[in-house]
Structure 1
Amino acid sequence: MSLSPQFLDELRSRTLLSALVGKSVKLERAGREFRACCPFHNEKTPSFYVNDDKAFYHCFGCGAHGDAIRFLTEHKGLPFMDAVKELAAAAGMDVPAADPRAAEKAERASGLHEAMAEAAAWFVEQLHGIAGAEARDYLRKRGVDAAAQAAFGIGFAPDSRGKLKAALSRFGDDKLVEAGLLISVEDKEPYDRFRGRLMIPIRDARGRAIAFGGRIIGQGEPKYLNSPETPLFDKGRTLFNLDKAAAATRKAGRVIVVEGYMDVIAMAQAGIGEAVAPLGTALTEGQIERLWRLAETPILCFDGDAAGQKAAIRAALRALPMIEPGRTLRFATLPPGQDPDDLVRNGGRTALETLLEGAEPLVERLWKYELAAAPLDTPEARAGLRKRLADHAATIRHGDVRGQYLADFRRRFDALYERTSPAPRFQPGGGWRGGQAGRGGRGGPFRGKPPEAPPSAVTRSIGNGGLGPLESRAVLAGMLRHPQIIAHHAETIAALPIADEKLARIRDAMLDAAFAAETLDSDTLGTILGQVGLAGAMEALRAPNGLAFSFLRGNADAGRARRDLAAAIEALAARPELDAALAAVTARLMASPDEAGFAEQRRLRAARDAADQALASLAAGESGADSN
């Protein structure tokens, strides 16, 4: 059967090549690309590169080169159609059914790019002709110079129902209608879609015109008119200026999203070429995915008016389920009534850069939005705020990131209403910050000379790939017995390096429950775990594990058990941090020894030994802190 070039291009654009190749080849990031030892020939030094922006792989050793389809045919040995079907299934696309009309359809589609290119050239001619005087005057008033006009291919569509149709008559009405250049109405001759408008080509990643955005000259509605969906143009997966911004983004290390075509052009004239814009609608999931292929943290720079801020929060909520480490958003808000062009004219590029440097993280934007959504002068309203925040966090599919958002929202909420005092926090330099003083006096249990006892087998295992099942089950069992402490230590609990995936799911469910509930007891927590399919895990947590932690014993003093559980959580969370810091300073000393480095190494070792001793004491049933 014959597959159209448009279908194959769409299939490639929906396939993240690094994810496909990474299933069978171990990739490591190298700037904006990935590299590995070539799967097509034997080598010890990586020379095989994968570029997601350009959707191809290349080996500088053996010359292997291709796209997603070729990788499956050459590396996995699949027939061409089997490779296409496998990729289409993963991308959620239907492979066109084989029928006698397929070849005819492919032939009809093959001339669309040519028709669009000829239309773009014709619009440019009209801009510089007699009919384009008003459009040229508009561009002059907007400060769009000749270089920008040429770079973006800006043109003009005369106010006529048939001039473009006549100029492109060799393509035939049907093809021009299919390209979105003519409008076909029943019982009427097709006529020009764009009339009396400034014409801005919308290009694909390869720089080919696939659609147009037309701005009215003078009075009239709509102000902007875009091409309809066509075999070339999928509005929800396309971004204006994607072709130019891709290269600029690699150089600048960022991508900026603004509201419209003229904003992108103004940014480019200010020397910021890494700006793109959606096409008259809110950002879609497909567009956000494309942005993440360009940069880990796109900056959304929308107007400060109500419409602009509504668009920003819609984008935030659409992105939220998909965020993960290395994939998020930041938000820069323009002053009300100003667009990027106004900002540059009044303050130069420096004003624009200052605005972008102050962009807020996604979590900050969500917090401010919900904080301002309604009055918070009653307990019911404050409970509503907490529920809305919990609901937002619950949409995040990545477990660790979801836990961090829950912890961050809880900390902000508690700080705003002064619900609790700061929780004790173990510090890499030794000692506890905040909370009650331990056996070592007011400065904390680890001040002065560290204990001489060697670390236990339990504590020695912590730094090797995260917490093992023994320690993880002990802490989770303690949290099940004493769920009151979860909310106050949410950030630390979310950071625990739990290696077992099922136990990590239990931890995440406990954090979700603690944030959503005003108060939480053991029975309620058990019920919630059962509702999310973790009832069996609850029984495993109640089983004895051979450790003598006070928080695992039913006859222990509740206050002491909670203090010991908090101390164990802090020590377990601190241990990997201390190992990492100690490894870093040791590596530095090997390259360049100095007395300050040796002192830092001794300090970190003492702090690590202190954490180990504290945990060993707790595991043996000794209290980690005396009550006042």
Structure 2
Amino acid sequence: MSLSPAFLDELRARTSLSALIGKTTKLQKAGREMRGCCPFHNEKTPSFYVNDDKGFYHCFGCSAHGDAIRWMTDQRGLPFIDAVKELAQTAGMEMPAQDRQSAERAEKAKGLHEAMADAATWFTEQLHGLAGNEARQLLDRRGIAAETARTFGMGFAPDSRGRLKAALKDYGDPMLVESGMLIHVEGKEPYDRFRGRLMIPIRDARGRTIAFGGRIIGEGEPKYLNSPDTPLFDKGRTLYNLDRAAPAARKANRVLVVEGYMDVIALAQAGIAEAVAPLGTALTEHQLERLWRMIDVPILCFDGDAAGQKAALRAAHRALPLLQPGRSLSFVTLPGGQDPDDLVKAGGAGAMEALLREPQPLVDRLWRNEVAAEPLDTPEQRAGLKRRLAELAGGIADDSVRAEYQSDFRRRFDAHFTPQRKPFVPFQRGRQPWRPGPALPTGPVTEDAKAFRAAGIDRVLAKAVLAGLIRHPVEIARHMEVLGSLRLADGALGRLFEAVVDVALEDRRTGDALDSAHLVTILQKSGFGEVASDLLRADAMPYSFTQPFGDDQRSREDLDEAIAILIARPEVDAQLAQATQAMQTRFTDEAFERQVALVREKQALEMRLANLCQSNEDARSLGFEGN
């Protein structure tokens, strides 16, 4: 089928967008437009506008934007062609003619949809008849209310090899076999696939039954049985409850992924309607993409047992190559091996909501799993951890997300294996001076403390960092807070830093993309051209991030490292001076050990900085011993 631009334009022109959206969203007249609360995110003050003349909707809160077809695909969750068909039928337009093969496939699919709908109706009738007594008792034991069972279309398949086949005989055995409702073994008569099971319809995004899941009533294996893949049903592309969860997810601004049908049904009965489940398989790439069409960061709520956590980790690894800026996963681990069904039965929706308030980001789940994977006592084991983290980050296709993961893993690795030191609070006027003892005092970081740190900053390294920020201005926003102490530096250095930050903030406010050449041009106009040019001379400093050419990713990583060292060194120096004074005042084993630890920490910082130099000769010229 070919849908021409002219056909689609005519379809949009014949569709009243406000009438279409008004079926599910309350709209009020606002001048020449209609206005209401956005259906794509929670809000109390209307910021969602519909313009019939121009044929589009727009939300000034979340930037949702589109036409009638986009509304059907994004808000209703329909595939594009189904959205067009439904709009065309409403508008009284004939769809373009199909080729013969397409027409045959459409006719076959129509027959299969009708067969599946009739099967669902028959199963529901059996559940409420005499034969369904045992299945109804199972629902009672599981705490599933009759209204909930009706909402999800639950039914019962009698323990018979031919009852369904006889009930749907008008469709013929070949179609029922193709639909997955009958099993055909060579040389034998086809027979019912589902026997003696509680039946749960699986629906597509339009709410049409395309398959079934069956739970055994008594003893037997398998406990759950799904329809096979058919022309209507691809279990790797389908999510259970998608038709009901999609609109609920947009309203709640979240979507939950749980392991099974009963978890979805129990959560819905408890008032949490935005849950879906894969169908007996690990989450696939297609299912992840479908989730991301609804919500940028779906929450995986797999069971707290070993199998559930293994499934969550598989999903995390499968998602990595597909990550994009703002698009990720988060995780909730249920306590004590419980599943969501157990949790809401014991504690109601509140117990689930308490866990959902603090989901674990994907990067945390990956880091903690790798750290716990094996002992980290030897250099070889730590090198193994570093390699595994690098492989994880390296599998991310998007350049910017990959660079962020590499930087994040590097910071976590350094922090994990750097000796922890107690926070330093400098002497402040009006307070009692520190006295030697078992621990340093703690307290808020005041302006005096910031000034103290700024005074201790290595000006040579600060110049290099400034040069790096001018070379890579996209890094400014990421380090704005930690570099705040540079504002307190005296002289041209502090003034230049303020000018660089002001330019970055202005471009961020206006949405412009800030590059190095543009930044230098603005600095020249502001009277900082000469000092900026001196910093950017290729021979001025020997670091990768100060050079005009080279590996951009490595330069940005090295700049991250330099900034971390720049901020850390003044505190280490101050604490070392304080520890030395304590030793001179009163020698104790604890004071001596602290002094030694701080000396080693300072040496480690110096070595880290030396490793950023491009050669051993450069390191020695700055007073370091290169590797």
Q: Is residue 73 of structure 2 the alignment partner of residue 32 of structure 1?
A: no
- Contact 1:439–1:445 (Cα < 8 Å) also in 2: no
Q: What's the Cα RMSD here? A: 4.8
Task: Tell me the residue number matched to 2:301.
Answer: 301
Task: Tell me the residue number matched to 2:457.
Answer: 437
- Contact 2:135–2:217 (Cα < 8 Å) also in 1: yes
Offset of residue 193 of structure 1: 0.7
Offset of residue 307 of structure 1: 0.6
**C-alpha separation in 2, matches of 1:2 and 1:345:** 51
Aligned pairs for 1:42-191 (under 5 A) are: 49=67, 54-55=72-73, 103-191=103-191
- Contact 2:258–2:264 (Cα < 8 Å) also in 1: yes
- Contact 1:210–1:232 (Cα < 8 Å) also in 2: yes
Deviations 1:152-178 (A, max 9, x none): 000000111100000001111111111
Deviations 1:386-426 (A, max 9, x none): 1111111111122222121111111111111107999xxxx
- 1:467 pairs, out of 498, 515, 523, with 515
Kindly name which structure, 1 or 2, has the bigger radius of gyration based on alpha carbons: 2
**Closer/same/farther in 2, CA of residues 118 and 70 from structure 1, 3 Å limit:** closer
- Contact 1:482–1:562 (Cα < 8 Å) also in 2: no
Deviations 1:85-130 (A, max 9, x none): xxxxxxxxxxx9x6x6654444222211111110000000111111
Question: What's the secondary structure of 1:236's corresponding residue?
Answer: coil
Deviations 1:224-251 (A, max 9, x none): 1111111111111110000110111111
Offset of residue 270 of structure 1: 0.9
- 2:552 pairs, out of 477, 494, 507, with 507
Q: What code does the residue aligned with 2:515 have?
A: L
Offset of residue 49 of structure 1: 3.7
Task: Tell me the residue number matched to 1:314.
Answer: 314
- Contact 1:49–1:57 (Cα < 8 Å) also in 2: no
Task: Tell me the residue number matched to 1:482.
Answer: 543
Offset of residue 325 of structure 1: 2.1
Deviations 1:432-478 (A, max 9, x none): 9689435799x966438876997699948655432324879987978
**C-alpha separation in 2, matches of 1:291 and 1:386:** 31
Task: Tell me the residue number matched to 1:356.
Answer: 356
- Contact 1:282–1:311 (Cα < 8 Å) also in 2: yes
Task: Tell me the residue number matched to 2:573.
Answer: none
Aligned pairs for 1:181-580 (under 5 A) are: 181-418=181-418, 436-438=456-458, 446-447=487-488, 459=500, 464=507, 465-469=513-517, 481-482=542-543, 506-510=551-555, 558=619
Q: What code does the residue aligned with 1:437 have?
A: I
**C-alpha separation in 2, matches of 1:31 and 1:456:** 44
Offset of residue 32 of structure 1: 2.9
Using CA pairs under 8 Å that are at least 6 residues apart, name the structure with larger relative contact order, 1 or 2.
1
- Contact 1:35–1:49 (Cα < 8 Å) also in 2: no
Q: What code does the residue aligned with 1:408 have?
A: D
- Contact 1:216–1:223 (Cα < 8 Å) also in 2: yes
**C-alpha separation in 2, matches of 1:319 and 1:388:** 16
**C-alpha separation in 2, matches of 1:145 and 1:106:** 38
- Contact 1:330–1:361 (Cα < 8 Å) also in 2: yes
**C-alpha separation in 2, matches of 1:164 and 1:256:** 34
Deviations 1:177-220 (A, max 9, x none): 11111111111111111111110000011111010001111111
Offset of residue 358 of structure 1: 2.2
**C-alpha separation in 2, matches of 1:106 and 1:43:** 31
Question: What's the secondary structure of 1:148's corresponding residue?
Answer: helix
Question: What's the secondary structure of 1:54's corresponding residue?
Answer: helix
Offset of residue 336 of structure 1: 3.1
**C-alpha separation in 2, matches of 1:391 and 1:127:** 52
- Contact 1:246–1:274 (Cα < 8 Å) also in 2: yes
**Closer/same/farther in 2, CA of residues 163 and 452 from structure 1, 3 Å limit:** closer
Offset of residue 43 of structure 1: 10
**Closer/same/farther in 2, CA of residues 237 and 133 from structure 1, 3 Å limit:** same
- Contact 1:38–1:48 (Cα < 8 Å) also in 2: no
Unmatched runs of 5 consecutive residues or more in structure 1: 4-29, 59-64, 72-78, 82-95, 487-492, 517-550, 564-628
**Closer/same/farther in 2, CA of residues 48 and 107 from structure 1, 3 Å limit:** closer
**Closer/same/farther in 2, CA of residues 256 and 132 from structure 1, 3 Å limit:** same
Question: What's the secondary structure of 1:281's corresponding residue?
Answer: coil
**C-alpha separation in 2, matches of 1:279 and 1:50:** 31
**C-alpha separation in 2, matches of 1:232 and 1:254:** 28
**C-alpha separation in 1, matches of 2:72 and 2:204:** 12
- Contact 1:205–1:243 (Cα < 8 Å) also in 2: yes
**Closer/same/farther in 2, CA of residues 134 and 506 from structure 1, 3 Å limit:** same
Task: Tell me the residue number matched to 1:521.
Answer: none
Unmatched runs of 5 consecutive residues or more in structure 2: 4-37, 42-46, 60-64, 88-94, 423-444, 463-483, 508-512, 521-532, 562-611
- Contact 1:57–1:66 (Cα < 8 Å) also in 2: no
Task: Tell me the residue number matched to 2:11.
Answer: none
- Contact 2:40–2:251 (Cα < 8 Å) also in 1: no
- Contact 2:57–2:66 (Cα < 8 Å) also in 1: no
Question: What's the secondary structure of 2:225's corresponding residue?
Answer: strand
**Closer/same/farther in 2, CA of residues 221 and 42 from structure 1, 3 Å limit:** closer
- Contact 1:37–1:48 (Cα < 8 Å) also in 2: no
- Contact 1:400–1:508 (Cα < 8 Å) also in 2: no
- Contact 2:297–2:330 (Cα < 8 Å) also in 1: yes
**C-alpha separation in 2, matches of 1:233 and 1:44:** 33
Question: What's the secondary structure of 2:335's corresponding residue?
Answer: coil
**Closer/same/farther in 2, CA of residues 406 and 183 from structure 1, 3 Å limit:** same
**% identical equivalent positions:** 52
**C-alpha separation in 1, matches of 2:48 and 2:162:** 53
Answer with 262-271 or 340-349: which moved more: 340-349
**C-alpha separation in 2, matches of 1:515 and 1:168:** 67
- Count of matched residue pairs: 454
Question: What's the secondary structure of 1:187's corresponding residue?
Answer: coil
**C-alpha separation in 1, matches of 2:75 and 2:537:** 45
Task: Tell me the residue number matched to 2:598.
Answer: none
**C-alpha separation in 2, matches of 1:50 and 1:31:** 15
**C-alpha separation in 1, matches of 2:498 and 2:305:** 60
Task: Tell me the residue number matched to 1:23.
Answer: none
Normalised by the size of structure 2, how large is the TM-score? 0.62
- Contact 2:55–2:68 (Cα < 8 Å) also in 1: no
**C-alpha separation in 2, matches of 1:511 and 1:313:** 29
Offset of residue 38 of structure 1: 8.4
Question: What's the secondary structure of 1:199's corresponding residue?
Answer: strand
**C-alpha separation in 1, matches of 2:148 and 2:82:** 34
Q: What code does the residue aligned with 1:177 have?
A: V
**C-alpha separation in 2, matches of 1:197 and 1:477:** 75
Deviations 1:497-531 (A, max 9, x none): x9xxx98x932255679999xxxxxxxxxxxxxxx
**C-alpha separation in 1, matches of 2:2 and 2:190:** 30
